[in-house]
Chain A
Amino acid sequence: MRRYSVFAVAREALRFHAGWGRAWAAPEPKRKYDVIVVGAGGHGLATAYYLGRNFGIRNVAVLEKGWLGGGNTGRNTTIIRSNYLQDPSAAIYEKARSLFETLSQELNYNVMFSPRGLLMLAQTEHEARGYKRTVHANALQGVQTEYIDAARVKALVPIINIEGPRYPVLGALYQARGGTARHDAVAWAYARACSDMGMDIIQNCEVTGVRSAGGKVQGVDTSRGSIDCDKLAIVVAGNSSVLAEMAGFRLPIESLALQALVSEPIKPAIDVVVMANTVHGYMSQSDKGELVIGGGTDGFNNYTQRGSWHHVEETVRALVETFPIISRLKMMRSWGGIVDMTGDRSPILSATPLGNCFVNCGWGTGGFKSIPGSGWAMAELIAKGAPGPLAAEFGLNRFREGRFIDESVAAGVAH
């Protein structure tokens, strides 16, 4: 692999950059692989990468029906945080966050991880208590967060309206090392590293069937022919149920549309990520200057990658109220992705009823931030055939046992 550096760029500049080679290869599929990962999004590519890096398993194919990083990896709002309440969530998201810290250097590809700080606003007494609880939990989980008062919120985000009138900001859960990264670059960086390890990333290759014998997976049928494998990993987010059906089982998953939008680019206006959960909206600013805005999901099953307008209105309303100066800015682009929501809104990293077939899905709206941790844990699950500590609590069996990992702390009610 040609190393990227400022010196390499300078050398190439002299010859009009004619010497750069492919970031990743475009191979034909082989007959058989040790592991096939279906889905070349961030999670699939990270899974493949850590299979090679941590377990030396390099005879791996990553199959992608479209183009790599083209699903939710390229459609999210790029937020990275690990300020989760429940232990298993905090563990895997913090693993991911800590891997993000050095990802650019490890993969020799600048993914622009920007730990610019993340605020979750407390706008009701109930929310404030919940975030204080999270801070105490995070301290024991090794996640650095603090609860800050409204004055500090205002100092961190001068454009915020903390006075209400409807939902004055009481304080915030602050994760100073939370932030953002360049979403596409994460997929590209992993793809380049996988390709460099000799793995095959095969784009425009749609899986049309899962072959099995004796309760064990044998391989997959694809739009580019049949491919055998010893182990199969399904890492396809919103399309998980479709693949699961091919493999002969059902998942506790529903596929819903989630929308995001950006403003026209402006000069730096906000240096941290702000999430306002009482009013349902969140906002950060990209390095290009766009305000990146997201909100809640649609409520019905949908595979179209198109959402409903009223959610855009709800989200923008929340943010105009929170940041009144954005009223005269303009929405430049909006888009939708398909998120995979589980019964407890937490992910699934699990063996399945089909032998040697593993599934990584259910990240819902939290997928991007977890990519490195998810790949790390999934690789271990595939390599060892059993989950390591990061994945242990995220098995499918939890739905039978009633052992949920529910982050949606409380239905905010009071007498």
Chain B
Amino acid sequence: MSTRLATGGRLIDRSKPLSFTFDGRSLGGFAGDTLAAALLANDQMLIGRSFKYHRPRGILASGVEEPNALVGLGQGPRFEPDQRTTTTELFAGAATVSQNAWPNLDLDIGALNNLAYRFLPAGFYYKTFMFPRFAWKHLFEPVVRLSAGIGRVPKDRDADRYEQAYDFTDVLVVGGGVAGLAAALAAAKGGQRVLVLEQTAHWGGRAPVDGIAINGMPADAWVAETVASLAALPNVTLRRRTMAAGVYDHGYVVAQEAVADHLPGADLPRHRLWRIRAGRIIAATGAIERPLAFAGNDIPGVMLASAARDYVVNWAVSPGDRTVIVTNNDDAYRTALALHDAGLVVPAILDARAKAAGELPALARARGIRVLEGRGIARVKGGKRVKAVEVCAQAGEGAVLETIACDCVAMSGGFSPVVHLYSQPGGKLVWDAANGMFTPDPARAPTGADGKPFVTCAGAASGALQAADALADAHAAGGGEAAQAPRAEAAAEAPMQPVWMMPQGAPAKLRFKMWLDFQNDVKVSDVQLAAREGYESVEHTKRYTTLGMASDQGKMSNINGLAILSDALGQPIPATGTTTFRPPYAPISFGAIAAEARGEIFQPLRRTPMHDWHAAAGAHWEPVGLWRRPYCYPRGGESHSQAVNREVTNTRQNLGLLDASTLGKILVKGPDAGRFLDMLYTGVMSSLPVGKCRYGLMCSENGFLIDDGVVVRLADDAWLCHTTSGGADRIHAHMEDWLQCEWWDWQVYTANLTEQFAQVAVVGPNARKLLERLGGIDVSKEALPFMAFTEGTLAGIPARIFRISFSGELSYEVAIPASHGLAFWKACLAAGADLGLMPYGTEALHVMRAEKGFIMIGDETDGTVIPQDLGLGWAISKKMPDYLGKRAQERSHMTNPERWKLVGLETLDGSVLPDGVLAPAPGANPNGQRATQGRVTSTYFSPTLGCGIAMGLVRRGPERIGEVLEFVAAGKSIPARICDQVFYDKSGEKQNV
């Protein structure tokens, strides 16, 4: 059984006991424990169940590569599934639950799959579940989904907060092991800014566990000294608990700092997402040990040799009383030594190599540990925990030579450099056959903006697995001179021998029990099946078997799987290739990625100066771009539609007030401004007299209508262009594009003044009276006729008044400096109380413009409509030789007389046509779809007319006035007559009074 040792544990503080729960059971640990260490200390070998067969799963590793020991952590709004126990620092009160087991971990009904394992090989679902046809969706898939999935679904909104930060550095060192520290020190001495990230809470990595000496002192001491020197340098920043998740192009790195995972309840952001721009990246990310593939290698109690050593040395946790070591390399002997020296029993070391003659085996033998050469494991005996191993000859087919009772198996299949950060931005790898690993290919490193390599692997990550080599390599990567490199003293290691399957001649029965991907239940037999079936690319095999697709993303399984596949295909590993590493290196929280952008500040909110007044007046909001505009202002229990009708009627009969501040306002100025606007608009703007307004249409170069609005000539050389509310930034950019890139020699200046001015539309028969009361500017018909502009001081506020109308009523749009917007709005309200003044919202605006037959960009247009379709020929100059979109509008499809054109539509019964409804034409098109001849673009109830009104695009529409079309909605036919699109005040008297 696993238990806490009486002494030792370099990372734990025995004076700080902590209690936590697992599946409701109260357990104890110490400060400094990981969850995994604490669980093991309590003999909790069984942590969860696997994905497909629901096999018992224990702790396999001690770090970020752990595929099995995932738990649900926390409760309520702080519950998180799939939390990796090996990287989670223990905290007081941590509530953890096992995953993927029902009704409970020990008695999981899903484990029935395990009995049927032979019937559920890789890809069995591709070959089955096809009949009857509906059964996949209704029967099979729900079962598959329930059985899979592992973690429980959080139920509540996250109670924690997250934040993001930027950093910039010349050199980013990823990894705070001895290689990373050596590289950082060397780089820092050159004076460059250096940032060092370490994913755990501790500096030093594996070296202190491995008992290495550096520069004549124990690794722990060297690490402490080096960290202290680095911390003292002004150009160095050290960050622990920060994992570099992804390296992107041009030196961009995303890292996640676990700020408060270990301090729940502290008033801190839980995670901080760092966005780092680095000149150069040194990936001192170490190497990860590989499992060996033998039958029963997934039974709880089988773990990586390095992990077993970590638990003993770092946390004083014994993984078992009797641990059998199985290895193909010397490093695992360190585990034997560590366990033995902690007073634990190592009954045997099974070394797959024919000879174990190095320094480390000699040390083991000297302690009286049995070393069996050329041996492997035929089978691990046990169910929910290891009971014994059956020993066989590695060279054979699994005949059992001996059975050794044990409760832990520590395995080592060699090490794989962590090359993820090098590979992510495009770095390529080479296969090192002697050491059975992929290493970075210096000739094909990822390149940056300057075309030069910007990621270097250092230490074990570059394949320098021995401590002395690793330090020298890292020191050089940091730019240090060879003579000054830190010197490591460690036992020399004899070469490893790649072993991909144990024993090498294992029959199918054993291969069906050899796990490669522990979480996803992919076995040697599955990969071999994939190869047999022609899924020969490593990507095919991955996808067919799900190898490496689990939440460890292949850290445990990729190389072993690749080797088995290559063997099955009879080709060397490099010929099979490797898969591409993708960000993130290990999972990072969506919370950190989204950070503060939630709720009200999900996106920036643009507010007009009157925004708060609208809110206080009970406005029902409508999002318009990043703005929020009042849709209507319901009063005392009114429905929205009642409010809209009231606002329309009141505006038409008395006086309405609209906050039009969101309208785009772009100043275009300069000697060539008129010429420029003539190119931008379909109509002539250069001829507009000063003080006058003109409606204009803007098209894309592709001919389609993109925006409209009133253009005002402010002065000889200055025009003010109004755009749609959503369009100001886009249109301003559009203007600048043409000005800077095409007509760059024209003297024109543009400025987007949208937020500099508040704008208020004063609309209705009493509009003039109100402005006269406000006083200061003559707004009489003579002084300020329709489509004219003036400026002066109104109500004591500097104001521009445009006499334009989007409602058909007598209407003035008043622009005032934004800082006076609210004051002016209130002044209007105060002065207009007895004139029947009421504010109105966007929907009333829409209804009134539709009653008047005015188009709305986005309703009458949809990116397929040209001005000619909308009866706006009067706004298109025939004389101008060129404007943006003119050539496009000459193309055959654009001049086709069959195009759908704008008309008015009135239902025969006065009802309101549904939004977007279409009118079928006789027959069907060649694809069997009903032919159509028109559609509704805008449809409203008109309170003014007391019936429904609509506009629509109809094939040859204007030629068919009076004709009745049948529109179809939900199978029902609605007859509507084609009519003039102007429903209200056709002669335009009202706006012209």
Residues of A within 8 A of B (CB): 4-6, 8-10, 12-14, 16-18, 20-26, 66-70, 74, 87-88, 90-91, 101-102, 104-105, 108-110, 112-116, 123-126, 128-130, 132-137, 139-142, 159, 165-167, 179, 182, 184-185, 188-189, 203, 263-269, 278-279, 285, 287-289, 304, 306, 308-309, 312-313, 316-317, 319-321, 324-335, 343, 389-390, 392, 398, 400-404, 406, 408-415
Contacts and interface: CB of A to CB of B under 8 A. Distances in A.
B859 A109 contact: no
B126 A91 contact: no
Given A5-B128, A102-B133, 15 more contacts: A16-B509, A23-B534, A67-B537, A87-B929, A105-B130, A112-B136, A114-B136, A136-B918, A166-B599, A188-B544, A287-B144, A316-B590, A321-B598, A328-B79, A402-B888
B857 A414 contact: yes
A309 B253 CA distance: 9
Please name the 3 residue pairs, one residue from A and one from B, whose CB atoms are nearest each other, closest first.
Answer: A133-B916, A289-B149, A389-B926
B535 A316 contact: no
Given A9-B127, A268-B149, A411 B593 contact: no
Interface string B542-580: 011010011101000000000000000000000000000
Contact of A20 (B246, B532, B915): B532
B929 A411 contact: no
Given A110-B130, A116-B137, A334 B148 contact: no
A116 B137 CA distance: 7
B549 to A, nearest CB: 8
A309 B623 contact: no
Given A22-B533, A140-B920, A313 B593 contact: yes
Interface string B88-128: 00000000000000000000000000000011010011111
Contacts of A14: 118
B599 A165 contact: yes
Contacts of B533: 20-23
Contact of B587 (A267, A306, A330): A330
A128 B915 CA distance: 9
Nearest to B151: A266
A332 B918 CA distance: 45
B302 interface: no
B433 interface: no
Candidate in A132, A335, A411 with the most chain B CB atoms within 10 angstroms: A411
B335 interface: no
Nearest to A95: B927
A410 B858 contact: yes
A328 B915 contact: no
Given A139-B970, A140-B929, A184-B544, A306 B426 contact: yes
A411 B546 CA distance: 42
Nearest to A203: B537
15 contacts: A13-B118, A110-B126, A112-B125, A129-B915, A166-B623, A265-B550, A266-B81, A320-B594, A320-B598, A321-B602, A327-B160, A328-B78, A329-B81, A333-B582, A413-B727
Given A26-B534, A113-B136, A309-B254, A17 B525 contact: yes
A415 B845 contact: yes
Contacts of A189: 126
B157 interface: yes
A81 B51 CA distance: 30
B935 A328 contact: no
A18 B82 contact: no
Contacts of B842: 414-415
Interface string B787-823: 0000000000000000000100000000000000000
Nearest to B629: A414
Given A22-B533, A288-B148, A325-B156, A129 B916 contact: yes
B603 interface: yes
Contacts of A124: 622-624
Candidate in B128, B425, B724 with the most chain A CB atoms within 10 angstroms: B128
B893 interface: yes
Given A16-B118, A132-B914, A324-B157, A329 B589 contact: yes
A309 B245 CA distance: 11
Contacts of B703: 402
Contact of B127 (A5, A135, A308, A409): A5
Nearest to B246: A309
Contact of A141 (B145, B532, B930): B930
Contacts of A66: 537
A141 B929 contact: yes
Contacts of B925: 87, 389
B725 A415 contact: yes
A406 B589 contact: no
Interface string B133-145: 1001100011011
B916 A132 contact: yes
Contacts of B863: 406, 408-411
Q: How many B residues are at the interface, by size bracket?
A: 35 or more
B540 interface: yes
B857 A188 contact: no
Contact of B597 (A67, A126, A321, A412): A321
Contacts of B249: 304, 306, 308
B529 interface: yes
A403 B631 CA distance: 36
B51 A320 contact: no
B73 to A, nearest CB: 9
Nearest to A288: B148
Contacts of A24: 534
A102 to B, nearest CB: 7
B591 interface: yes
Contacts of A343: 702
Interface string B840-866: 001001100100000011110111100
Contact of A265 (B150, B508, B625, B706): B150
Nearest to A16: B508
Interface in B860-916: 861-864, 888, 891-894, 914-916
Given A67-B537, A70-B537, A266 B149 contact: yes
Contacts of A267: 145-146, 149-153
Nearest to A167: B623
A15 to B, nearest CB: 8
A134 B969 CA distance: 11
A312 B592 CA distance: 12
A109 B898 CA distance: 47
A268 B707 CA distance: 45
A221 to B, nearest CB: 23
A313 B623 contact: no
B508 A18 contact: yes
Nearest to A66: B537
Interface in B47-102: 51, 78-82
A291 to B, nearest CB: 9
A309 B932 contact: no
B935 A133 contact: yes
Contacts of A390: 927
Contacts of B977: none
A306 B82 contact: no
Contacts of B785: none
A188 B631 contact: no
Nearest to B600: A165
Interface string B770-786: 00000000000000000
Contacts of B154: 325-329
A348 to B, nearest CB: 16
A389 B928 CA distance: 9
Nearest to B126: A110
A67 B149 contact: no
B949 to A, nearest CB: 16
Contacts of B511: 16
Contacts of B509: 16
Contact of B929 (A91, A108, A412): A91
Contact of B151 (A265, A324, A398, A401): A265
Contact of B726 (A22, A116, A398, A412): A412
Contacts of A203: 537
